[in-house]
Amino acid sequence: MKIDKISFLILFALLSTAVGAAPKPIPDPPSLKADSYFLLDFDSGRVLAEKNPDKHIEPASITKLMTAYLVDKAIADGDITADELVTISEKAWRMKGSKMFVEVGRQITVADLLKGLIIQSGNDASIALAEHVAGSESAFAGYMNHQAGLLGMTNTSFKNATGWPVEGHYSSARDIAILTRAVIRDFPETYRIYKEKEYTFNEIRQYNRNRLLWRDDTVDGVKTGHTEAAGYCLVASALRGKMRLISVVIGASSDKARTQSSQALLNYGYRFFETHRLYRANEVLKTARVWYGDREQVAMGVANDIHITIPRGRYQELEAAMEIDSEISAPIRLGQELGMVTVKLDDEVIVNENIVATQAINDGGLLVKALDSIKLMFR
């Protein structure tokens, strides 16, 4: 199949302004006293910094991100509702560690328990919700591992809904970032709860343990964790302008250290990188001639939004090329692959994405086919 190659530049200012200017080097990430860390751009998925990203660690209370995710999924699937009542079991009531301070036998709404889980990091709320969704905490752990597999969390194994230390319960900095990205993307309404600084239940006021919520107003989540083996852990997310970053710090020496390390990672990402949406999903990027169809032109674009994260100040240096099939014949189905768009910075490929039909083209009939056959002969 012949391919016509169409080269073009993604420029919003004259390229000549960048000619001759050497790009500024990107410094190494800050040196952090943590067992592992991970810095991810939310939209593009680009990793900006990492240390031991796949090392198995105790996720501690960060586990509750998956618990909350599955509760939200159960609500979205219609299995439960946010306002239905959950009866607190003795197991939930007796659970040690951080608590929402629910009472055995009391009935509490799913919505209230979800707030207690997210803001107060209540182990009792976690177990109550797990039992309500799956019948038992052990069955819920099976749901957790299934969902982890669907999300691509390849270094994670859940044994409970709380993060209470037990053999075989582990995750990694990368997997935690993957899960956090899913929480923000799939359930934005619930994600708003993660920035709430306090919650009062049963006349007991408790404060969110994420200290970044007080020191950086661009931070709107996410979750802390701490056990003796795991050390002090924090997964955080911030939104500055239209750029959202997710940082994960595992194994810091103190609450203060995990807060400072997370802040340093976020500041590094925003200082030296920028994220842009190059193309919108189904936006028409090009039209091309169609043969043998009921229309002569087909509109083309990309199936999903395309974001890129690049060194700050180098947007004008991006180069893109489209490769479109030179002979496109009907019928064409919606979403059919018709070419490729590639975006480079220097010699690095930033984007390599299929170009697809944004409309369907039907067969044009015998007369159209006959006429187009003649036209192609003299093309």
At 143, which helix (H) or strand (E)? helix 137-151
Locate tokens 């050497």: which residue? Answer: 22
pTM: 0.89
- Nearest to 161, CA basis, from 140, 190, 182: 140
DSSP string, 160-223: -SS----TT-BB-HHHHHHHHHHHHHH-HHHHGGGG--EEEETTEEEE-S-THHHH-TTEEEEE
CB distance 29 to 199 below 8 Å: no
The two three-digit tokens of residue 236, written as one number: 């955080």
**Catalytic annotation, pick one of 44, 61, 89, 171:** 61
Locate tokens 């803001």: which residue? Answer: 119
pLDDT at 22: 66
SS3 string, 59-105, reads CHHHHHHHHHHHHHHHHHCCCCCCCCEEECCHHHHHCCCCCCCCCCC
- Can you give the residue ranges of every domain in the chain? 3-18+278-377, 55-213
The two three-digit tokens of residue 243, written as one number: 């750029």
* Count of CB atoms situated within 10 Å of the CB of 202: 11
Q: Report d(CA 191, CA 184) in Å as an integer.
A: 6
The two three-digit tokens of residue 268, written as one number: 């590094």
pLDDT at 21: 57
Between the alpha carbon of residue 240 and those of residues 187, 224, 271, the distances in Å are: 20, 21, 11
Q: Do you know the residue count of the chain?
A: 379
Q: Is 173 buried (19+), middle (13-18) or exposed (0-12) by CB count in 10 A?
A: buried
Instruction: Reply yes or no on domain 3-18+278-377 having CATH 2.60.410.10.
Output: yes
* CA dihedral over 115, 116, 117, 121, signed as positive or negative: positive
**Catalytic annotation, pick one of 121, 171, 261, 262:** 121
Side-chain-side CA neighbours of 230 within 13 Å: the count stands at 30
61 is catalytic: yes
Looking at domain 55-213, its CATH architecture is 3-Layer(aba) Sandwich (3.40)
For each of the chain's 379 residues, which pLDDT tens digit applies? 334 443 344 333 333 334 445 677 889 999 999 999 999 999 999 999 999 999 999 999 999 999 999 999 999 999 999 999 999 999 999 999 999 999 999 999 999 999 999 999 999 999 999 999 999 999 999 999 999 999 999 999 999 999 999 999 999 999 999 999 999 999 999 999 999 999 999 899 999 999 999 999 999 999 999 999 899 999 999 999 999 999 999 999 999 999 999 999 999 999 999 999 999 999 999 999 999 899 999 999 999 999 999 999 999 999 999 999 888 999 999 999 999 999 999 989 999 999 999 999 999 888 888 887 888 887 7
Q: Show contacts of 369-377: CB within 8 Å, 24+ apart.
A: 369/292, 372/291, 372/292, 375/291, 376/291, 376/327
CB distance 171 to 64 below 8 Å: no
130 φ/ψ angles, rounded to the nearest 5 degrees: -60, -45
- Nearest to 230, CA basis, from 14, 52, 58: 58
Cis (ω within 30 of 0) for the bond into 222?
A: yes
64 is catalytic: yes
Pairing, β 85-87 against β 107-109? antiparallel
31 is catalytic: no
CB distance 358 to 338 below 8 Å: no
pLDDT at 368: 80
